[in-house]
Amino acid sequence: MKGLPILLLPKAYALRDSLLLDVKEWQAIARAGFNEHDIDEDGDSDPWWGSKSIRECQKFLGNVDNWDHDSVASSDFGLLWGTNINIHTAAIWTIIEIFRDKDLLSRVRAELSAAGIDGIITDHDIDKLLKFPLLQSVYAEVLRLRADIQSVFCSEREDIRINEWRFPKRSLLLVPTGPAHRDEDFWNTRDGERRLNKFWADRFFVYANDPRSGPRKKIVAQMDKATVYTSTNTAATNSPKFVSSGLSNSFMPHGVGERVCPGRFFARREIIAFCA
Ligand code: HEM
């Protein structure tokens, strides 16, 4: 919706305004009623703000120059939207994809039990989970296939030129992820065996001994060490590596540039923990 004329989306704008009013009302009530004594013994939850992270966020945002209570509410509304809408969609799809493929389900379970993780999640467990290649690949493939997002761009200072196209400055550009995420010229389909409109848990895997593996049509030659992990349950000689580098223009489930989703790391953490 960002920057789009209200006439194009009157219902969406009206809904957003009414949800935002709810957030403002909640925050006004919480501000008036909250008392430090209301914080639970665990030091986290309270009946007004809900959790320590929200209380800290209030404190932090309340100190930003020229921000009033309405600005803080708008910012928190974005946060609530991200945590409740985007994250749930991706989490549910991740579970659906894992459970509807028995083979994949047993591979995920094998990866978890090899690392001694049995459903109880501590922060340390989550750190471990984030290094599991199979969970990483499943999550990336869910985002590729299911996160159909429209990013909105606008150049304030100069026209943008892309090939034969010219986009005047200050005009809005809507960039849908769908065509990029399903671009046959870019993504590896193993010569059509693994269609791009279908889920393939191993799409982001590179096997050293399989030149047809890897997310790109061409083998990813330069793998970024920061995004490559070795599987815990596969023979070392043929361990798949999860690869997500070198995909930036074709894989952008969280948008790109300065407005890229600030909740993306939290989302990955929460969804992968939820699956486990
Ligand atoms: C898998 C889950 C998620 C997906 C697919 C997702 C995707 C996106 C996308 C595409 C954008 C817009 C980027 C742009 O305009 O170019 C965005 C923005 C945003 N996301 Fe997320 N998001 C997710 C989870 C979250 C979570 C968990 C949070 C909060 C903790 C969050 C908070 C935000 C906020 C505040 C913005 C606005 C940033 C800005 O305009 O400067 N998102 N997200």
Statement: the pTM of the whole predicted model exceeds 0.95: no
Question: Average of pLDDT values for 46-55?
Answer: 94
Measured from the Cα of 268, ligand 1's closest atom is 1
Burial of 258 (0-12, 13-18, 19+ CB in 10 A): exposed
Q: What is the largest CA-CA distance in the chain?
A: 64
Q: Is the dihedral of CA 189, 252, 178, 270 positive or negative?
A: positive
DSSP state at residue 231: -
> What is the DSSP annotation of 106-168?
HHHHHHHHHTT--S---HHHHHHHTT-HHHHHHHHHHHHHH---EEEEE-SSS-EEETTEEE-
> Could you identify the residue written with the tokens 């004329």?
5
- What is the per-residue pLDDT for 120? 61
**Is pLDDT of 91 > 60?**
yes
- Ligand 1 center–CA 111 separation, angstroms: 29
Choose between 231 and 176: higher pLDDT: 176
Q: Summarize pLDDT for 101-142 with one digit per residue, the tens.
A: 999 999 999 988 887 776 666 778 888 888 889 999 999 999
Dist. CA 177–CA 265, nearest whole Å: 19
pLDDT tier at 22, thresholds 50, 70, 90: very high
- What is the per-residue pLDDT for 223? 47
- Return the bridge partners of 205, or none: 242
Question: Average of pLDDT values for 78-85?
Answer: 86
Ligand 1 pocket, Cβ-based, cut-off 6 angstroms:
78-79, 82-83, 86-87, 90, 147, 149, 151-152, 253-255, 259-263, 266-267
Indicate the domain borders of the chain: 102-275
CA 159 to chain centre: 30
Could you tell me how many helices (H) and strands (E) the chain has, helices first? 9, 6
Phi, psi of 230 (to 5 degrees): -100, 135
- By alpha-carbon position, which residue is closest to atom 41 of ligand 1? 259
CATH superfamily of 102-275: Cytochrome P450 (1.10.630.10)
- What is the per-residue pLDDT for 259? 80
- Ligand 1 center–CA 162 separation, angstroms: 26
Question: Average of pLDDT values for 229-240?
Answer: 56
Pocket mutation for ligand 1, best pick of 57, 86, 146 (most atoms within 8 Å of C-beta):
86
Measured from the Cα of 271, ligand 1's closest atom is 1
Measured from the Cα of 149, ligand 1's closest atom is 10
- What is the per-residue pLDDT for 218? 65
- What is the per-residue pLDDT for 14? 93
DSSP state at residue 214: S
Measured from the Cα of 256, ligand 1's closest atom is 16
Hey, how many other C-beta atoms are within 10 angstroms of the C-beta on 73?
20
Choose between 82 and 37: higher pLDDT: 37
Dist. CA 47–CA 16, nearest whole Å: 25
Structural tokens at position 215: 């997310």
- Return the bridge partners of 161, or none: 166
Pocket mutation for ligand 1, best pick of 177, 254, 265, 268 (most atoms within 8 Å of C-beta):
254
Please check whether residue 168 is in contact with residue 159, taking contact to mean a CB–CB distance below 8 angstroms.
yes
- Ligand 1 center–CA 86 separation, angstroms: 8
**Is pLDDT of 191 > 60?**
yes
Q: Rounded mean pLDDT of the chain?
A: 87
**Is pLDDT of 216 > 60?**
yes
Hey, how many other C-beta atoms are within 10 angstroms of the C-beta on 137?
24
Q: Is the dihedral of CA 63, 68, 71, 73 positive or negative?
A: positive
Measured from the Cα of 87, ligand 1's closest atom is 2
Please check whether residue 199 is in contact with residue 141, taking contact to mean a CB–CB distance below 8 angstroms.
yes
Distances (CA, A) of 81 to 23, 85, 179: 11, 5, 25
Radius of gyration of the chain (CA): 22
